[in-house]
A and B are shown apart, each in its own frame.
Chain A
Amino acid sequence: NAGVTQTPKFQVLKTGQSMTLQCAQDMNHEYMSWYRQDPGMGLRLIHYSVGAGITDQGEVPNGYNVSRSTTEDFPLRLLSAAPSQTSVYFCASRMREFTEAFFGQGTRLTVV
Chain B
Amino acid sequence: KNEVEQSPQNLTAQEGEFITINCSYSVGISALHWLQQHPGGGIVSLFMLSSGKKKHGRLIATINIQEKHSSLHITASHPRDSAVYICAVRFGQGAQKLVFGQGTRLTINP
Contacts and interface: CB of A to CB of B under 8 A. Distances in A.
Nearest to B96: A48
Contacts, number: 56
The DSSP consensus for interface residues of chain B is: strand
B6 to A, nearest CB: 9
B100 A43 contact: yes
A100 B102 contact: no
B48 A42 contact: no
Interface stretch (A15-23, A70-78, A102-110): A102-110
Contact of A101 (B30, B94, B98): B98
Contacts of A31: 96
Range of interface residues on A (Cβ < 8 Å): 20 to 34
B103 A42 contact: yes
A101 B33 contact: yes
B41 A56 contact: no
A111 interface: no
A103 B48 contact: no
A48 B102 contact: no
Nearest to A33: B98
A49 to B, nearest CB: 9
Interface of A: 31, 33, 35, 40-45, 48, 50, 56, 58-59, 88, 90, 92, 97-103, 105-106, 108
